[in-house]
């Protein structure tokens, strides 16, 4: 792929090359082989532009991810350029259809160009314009829409917890409403009326009140009705089960599930997907205030069942329980909850993958296929019923913690208690995949990743097909 980057009014242009075709002699002298992601920069004689030759690997082995990552490589190699032109003319042929190539390149470019520099006093990044030269502008628009959904989720997660309490999160989401997208914010007495006992218990330790955001997307034609539930703990101190200082540092990201749902809904609206959507976002701060829920307290949910709070830092499953009960009526065709629910899932999958729990084989296949197309690693873990024994309580129907190995499985089993048995349901545990504390990699920056948005969009795209 060829890219041209430049300072001032000049362009940076990236051109794609599969391994095999011969690029310019300059690139060959620099050892260019066409290896996927390899970049060679050649200054233009005018001194204002730089030609970037980007490798795509063997033509027969290219995938959409190959083109996405080539665009990422071009953006990162553009350096101080203000503009970048990505030229797909040399990338014809191969197993990836031209529209899919254009969509992947646009998506990768936007994701790689993302910066969260709202609180920096220095100058913003220089790159202000990216152009993709292709015969398929509609595919570029689709890629941009999905990437902007990811960037929206990243902005929410990257926002400091002190400036994004539940009410501010709700305000930002409400600002997206219009046309087929509506938004209702349930607060105060409305939460009591809805039976949000878990959400109210978790939120009562904070000076910032909890709320529940309900989003509905009702396009004229709907092939399927899907409900998404996103965990929205805008800051998690652990409550009275206080986290360590190190464990608290990235806890502004504990609303990564809610952010991913918002980003996916935003992209679905921009793409005009023919799928009815309902999104439920229980939002709260988990703080150790004088009214905070205590270990040993019991919460009575809207279905009449009870949960003993043994660990105030296992608050996510408690607030999700309320939302899953609310999601029962009306019954959707599919119900998916998305949450940064357990740290233990990272011990199984590392920090770049999320876990999938579901007992529905068809929904599992849909989600794994969507994740593969989106380029987001998703791994299915078992809902081992034997682990349910660790959630027993001597005073309530269940406990929210076991202090035993297998917490990610136990958390998923806890959530399953609140889902109507006949409803196809899946739980995505983002673990540490929602926030990258390492160096940037592929299209993922340091900080918020927006993980889950692309998988959900691919799922919804397939649901509307």
In the DSSP assignment, the letter for residue 59 is G
Q: Check residue 89 and give its pLDDT.
A: 59
Token digits of residue 239: 């409550």
- Per run of 10 residues, the mean pLDDT along the chain (length 465 residues) is 50 40 48 80 77 83 90 89 80 77 95 91 78 92 97 97 98 97 98 98 98 97 96 98 94 98 98 97 98 98 98 98 98 98 94 97 98 97 96 98 94 98 98 93 95 98 81
272 neighbors 246 (Cβ within 8 angstroms): no
Phi, then psi, of 171 in degrees rounded to 5: -65, -40
Instruction: Check 68, 317, 416, 454 and give the catalytic one.
Output: 317
Q: Nearest-CA neighbor of 212 among 317, 284, 260?
A: 284
Neighbouring-strand partners of residue 213: 185, 281
Which contiguous run of DSSP H or E holds residue 235? Answer: strand 232-236
Domain ranges of the chain: 2-113, 148-463
Instruction: Check 115, 133, 172, 243 and give the catalytic one.
Output: 243
- Report the alpha-carbon distance of residue 426 to residue 383 in Å, rounded: 11
CATH label, 2-113, candidates 3.30.200.20, 3.40.220.10, 3.40.50.150, 3.30.460.10:
3.40.220.10
Q: Check residue 465 and give its pLDDT.
A: 66
Residue 388 annotated to the active site? no
Q: What is the pTM of this model?
A: 0.93
Residue 252 annotated to the active site? no
- Report the alpha-carbon distance of residue 379 to residue 368 in Å, rounded: 8
- Domain range 148-463, CATH class: alpha beta
- Cα R_g (the chain), whole angstroms: 23
Q: Check residue 37 and give its pLDDT.
A: 83
């Amino acid at each position: 792929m060829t890219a041209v980057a430049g300072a001032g009014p000049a362009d940076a242009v990236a051109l794609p090359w599969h391994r095999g075709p011969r690029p310019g002699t300059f690139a060959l002298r620099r050892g260019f082989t066409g290896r996927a992601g390899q970049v060679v920069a050649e200054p233009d004689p005018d001194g204002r532009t730089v030609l970037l030759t980007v490798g795509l690997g063997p033509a027969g082995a290219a995938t959409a991810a190959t083109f996405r990552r080539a665009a990422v490589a071009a953006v990162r190699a553009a350096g101080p350029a203000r503009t970048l032109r990505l030229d797909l003319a040399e990338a014809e042929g191969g197993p990836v259809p031209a529209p899919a190539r254009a969509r992947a390149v646009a998506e990768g470019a936007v994701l790689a160009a993302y910066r969260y520099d709202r609180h920096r006093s220095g100058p913003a990044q220089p790159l202000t314009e990216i152009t993709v030269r292709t015969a398929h502008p509609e595919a570029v628009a689709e890629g941009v829409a999905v990437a902007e959904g990811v960037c929206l989720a990243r902005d929410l997660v990257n926002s400091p917890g002190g400036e994004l309490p539940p009410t501010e999160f709700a305000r930002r989401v409400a600002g997206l409403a219009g046309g087929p997208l509506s938004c209702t914010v349930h607060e105060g007495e409305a939460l009591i009326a809805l039976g949000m006992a878990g959400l109210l218990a978790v939120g009562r330790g904070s000076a910032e009140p909890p709320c529940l955001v309900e989003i509905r997307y009702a396009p004229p034609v709907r092939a399927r009705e899907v409900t998404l539930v996103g965990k929205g703990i805008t800051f998690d101190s652990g409550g009275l089960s206080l986290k360590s200082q190190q464990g608290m540092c990235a806890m502004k990201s504990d609303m990564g599930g809610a952010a991913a749902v918002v980003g996916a809904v935003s992209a679905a609206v921009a793409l005009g997907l023919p799928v009815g959507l309902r999104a439920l976002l229980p939002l709260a701060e988990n703080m150790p205030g004088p009214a905070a829920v205590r270990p040993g307290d019991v919460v009575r949910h809207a279905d009449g069942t009870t949960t003993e709070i043994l660990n105030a830092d296992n608050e996510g499953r408690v607030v999700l329980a309320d939302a899953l009960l609310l999601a029962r009526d009306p019954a959707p065709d599919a119900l998916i909850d998305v949450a940064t629910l357990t740290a233990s899932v990272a011990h199984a999958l590392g920090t770049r993958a999320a876990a999938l729990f579901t007992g529905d084989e068809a929904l599992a296949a849909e989600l794994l296929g969507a994740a593969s197309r989106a380029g987001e690693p998703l791994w299915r873990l078992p809902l081992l019923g034997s682990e349910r024994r660790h959630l027993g309580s001597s005073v309530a129907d269940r406990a929210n913690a076991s202090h035993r190995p297998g917490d990610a499985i136990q958390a998923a089993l806890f959530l399953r208690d609140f889902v109507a048995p006949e409803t196809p349901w899946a739980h995505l545990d983002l673990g540490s995949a929602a926030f990258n504390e390492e160096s940037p990699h592929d299209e993922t920056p340091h900080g918020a990743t927006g993980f889950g948005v692309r998988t959900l969009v691919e799922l919804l795209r397939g649901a509307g097909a």
